Amino acid sequence: MSPSDDLLRNHFDEVTGLLYLERQLDESRAREVRAHIASCAACGQLLNALESESVWLKEALTTDEESIPARVITVPEKKGTHWGWITAFGLCAAGLYTVWNGLVAPAFAQASQAGFSQGNLFTMLFFQGAFWRGWDTMRNMTELLAATTLTGVAIWLLRKQWQRFTAITFVMGALVCALSVTPVARAADLEHGDPSYTLPAGQEIKTDLIVVANRVRIDGDVDGDLIVMSQSVVVDGHVKGDILGFGQELRVNGPVDGNVRAWSQAISLNSTVGRNVMAFGGVLELADKATVGGTMTLAAGTTNLDGRVVGDLLVFSGDIDINGFLGHDAAIRADRLTIGSNAEIVGQTKYEGRRQPDIAAGAKLGSPIQITIPKRGPDYTRMSYYWHRVLLWGASFLFGLLLLLLLPGFFADAVQATKRVGPAMGFGVLFLFATPIVAIIACITIVGLGIGITTFLLYAIALYSAPIFVGSWLGEQLLGAEVGLGPTIGRLALGLAILRALTMVPFAGALIAIIVVVWGLGALVLTLHRKMGPHVAGTA
C-alpha cells in the first residue's frame, strides 16, 4: 500500500494540516495532503477552518486600539540622557549634602550635646541598648508582636507580586534596618507587680531590673539599669545604671549613676543624676538639691529647674522657670520663660518664644540672652518672605525635575492619575491619615522600628512630591499636553509656581495647600497601586 493510498483512507492530523497551510511540509508530503483533501470533505473543512483561524489571529494581533505612549514616540536622545543622568546625580548628591548638613549633622550634634556620644541615631532611639538588655526574658511578648507585624507588612507588600523586586527590596531593607539596630541581649530580672511592686530597702538587685506593675517603689539598690512601666514610680534607692521609665508619675529621690530617660505625666528629680537626663512629660521638676552631671534634654508642658545642671540644657516647653544653676549653654524654645533671682547661667542662653522672657534682677547670666520672638503669620511687606517662597518653589521644582529624569514613566503616570480626581482625593485622605498611624504602630513593636522609620521617611517624601504631580497637571491644563522633555519641564515649572502663589493667599492658601497635598498623594498612591498590582498582558 502506497503512502498516498494510506492518506486517502486515513485523515491527516491537525498538525499536518497546519504545516501544510503554512507551507512547512516538503513537496512530496504536501502533494499527498493535496491529493487527500481533493477527495475528503472533512479534511478540506478542517483546512478551511484552520486557515480562517490564522487570518482571525493575525487580525486580532495586529489591530491597534491602544495609543502609543508619548514616552515611546519621543526619540531617546543619547546625549540628553547622558547629561540628564549627570544632572540627576549631581542634584541628588547636592540634596543629600544639604539634608546632611542642614538636618542630620545638627541633629547628631544636638544628640551629642544631650549625651548620646556614640552619634548613632538608632542607638539613641534604643537608649543606648538599655531597653534590650532584658531581651531574653521579654522575648515572648516582643517577638510575637514583632513577628506578627513584620509578617503582616510583608504579606501586604508582596501579596500580589512576589517577583516585584522593589517590594522585596523594601521589606528586606526594613528587616536589615530592624536587625541592625537590635543590640546583643543580656539577662535581666523581670518582675510583674501584683498589682504593685516594692524592692525593699536593704535589698540589692545584681543585674538589670525590669518592672511592670500598677505602682512601683524602689527602696533598695539596683546594680544595673532600672526599666519600669507603671502608673506611679518612686525610686528612693540607689540605681547604678540608667533609669528608663514609662508611666504617669516618676519620682526619683535616690542617686542615679547613669542616665535618666523618662516618659511620664509628671517627673520629679530630687537627687543626683550622674549623667544625662532626657524627659518628655507634662510637668517636670528639678528640685533645688538635685544635680544633673551631664546635659538635660526636655520636652514638657511646664518645667521648673531649681537644681544644678552641669552640662547643656535643651528645652521645648510651654512654661519654663529657671531658678537654679546651669553650668553650660541653654537653648530654650517656650511660650514663656522666667529666670528667677537665684538663677545662674554660665554659658550662652538662646531663647525663642512668643513673649519676652521675664528675668529677675538678681539672676546671673554669663552673657545677654539671645531672644527671638517670631512673628506669627507671613509678613507680606518683607521681600525676604517672597524670596523664601521663590526658594521653596525652586526646591520643589528641582525635586520634580529629579523625579522626571529618574522616573519618567512613573512621573507621567502619576500626572495622569491626578486626572482621576475623585479616587485620588479619596485615597489621598485615607493615606494622609492612615500612613502615620501604621508607622507609629510599627515603631511601637520595636523590631518594626526600621519599617516604621522607613515608612515615615517615605511618607514625608510622598507629601513633598504631591504638589509636583498636581502642578504638572495644572501646567498641562494651561499649556497643553505637548510631548517632549522641554514642554514637560515647562508645565512643571509653571504649575508649581501657580500653586506656590495660590498658597500665599491669606486663609484660603492653607486650604489650597491641604487639597493639593491630598490630591497629589492620592495620585501617587493610585500610581503605586497600578505599578505593584497584578497585570494582565497586552489586551489592547
Contact residue for other proteins among 31, 71, 354, 382 (CB under 8 A): 71
Residues 317-336 that bind other proteins (CB under 8 A): none
Name the nearest CA neighbour of 424 among 344, 494, 352, 527.
527
* Beta pairing partners, 320: 303, 337
Number of residues that bind other proteins (CB under 8 A): 54
Burial pattern 452-482, b for ≥16 Cβ within 10 A else e, equals bbbbbeebeebbebbbbbbbbbbbbeeeeee
∠ CA 247-253-256 to the nearest 5 degrees? 85
| Residue 222 binds other proteins (CB under 8 A) | no
CB 248 within 8 Å of CB 266: yes
User: Smallest gap, in angstroms, from Cβ of residue 159 to other proteins?
Assistant: 17
Contact residue for other proteins among 37, 43, 153, 447 (CB under 8 A): 43
| Residue 16 binds other proteins (CB under 8 A) | yes
Identify the DSSP state of 318: E
Distance (Å, rounded) from C-alpha 302 to C-alpha 473? 47
| Residue 60 binds other proteins (CB under 8 A) | yes
Distance (Å, rounded) from C-alpha 266 to C-alpha 255? 19
Element housing 221 (H / E): strand 221-222
Distance (Å, rounded) from C-alpha 54 to C-alpha 64? 18
Residue with the three cell numbers 522633555: 485
Contact characters 74-103, other proteins, x per CB under 8 A: -xx-x-------------------------
| Residue 28 binds other proteins (CB under 8 A) | no
Residue 69 vs 102, nearer CB to other proteins: 69
User: Smallest gap, in angstroms, from Cβ of residue 1 to other proteins?
Assistant: 13
User: Smallest gap, in angstroms, from Cβ of residue 417 to other proteins?
Assistant: 13
Stretch that binds other proteins, among 43-51, 103-111, 193-201, 316-324 (CB under 8 A): 43-51
Residue 21 vs 514, nearer CB to other proteins: 21
| Residue 64 binds other proteins (CB under 8 A) | yes
| Residue 7 binds other proteins (CB under 8 A) | yes
Name the nearest CA neighbour of 404 among 488, 528, 474, 491.
488
| Residue 1 binds other proteins (CB under 8 A) | no
Contact characters 139-178, other proteins, x per CB under 8 A: ------------------------x---------------
Contact residue for other proteins among 26, 27, 65, 194 (CB under 8 A): 65
| Residue 107 binds other proteins (CB under 8 A) | no
Identify the DSSP state of 102: I
| Residue 45 binds other proteins (CB under 8 A) | yes
Long-range contacts, 396-399 (Cβ 8 Å, 24+): 396/464, 396/467, 396/468, 396/471, 396/496, 396/500, 397/492, 397/493, 397/496, 398/91, 398/95, 399/95, 399/464, 399/465, 399/468
Distance (Å, rounded) from C-alpha 305 to C-alpha 340? 10
Contact residue for other proteins among 5, 13, 136, 379 (CB under 8 A): 13
Nine cell digits for residue 448: 518594626
Stretch that binds other proteins, among 66-74, 238-246, 368-376, 426-434 (CB under 8 A): 66-74
Residue 208 vs 413, nearer CB to other proteins: 413
Name the nearest CA neighbour of 316 among 356, 359, 351, 265.
351
Contact residue for other proteins among 2, 26, 28, 42 (CB under 8 A): 42
Contact residue for other proteins among 4, 34, 39, 57 (CB under 8 A): 57
The letter for the amino acid at 536 is V
Which residues neighbour 459 within 8 Å (Cβ) at sequence distance 6 or greater?
A: 435, 436, 439
Residue 158 vs 177, nearer CB to other proteins: 158
| Residue 482 binds other proteins (CB under 8 A) | no
| Residue 370 binds other proteins (CB under 8 A) | no
Helices 408-417 and 508-532, packing angle to 10 deg: 120
Contact characters 402-441, other proteins, x per CB under 8 A: -------x---x----------------------------
Query: What residues line the site for other proteins (CB under 8 A)?
Result: 6-7, 9-16, 18-19, 22, 24, 40, 42-43, 45-46, 48-50, 52-54, 56-66, 68-69, 71-73, 75-76, 78, 163, 409, 413, 531, 535-540
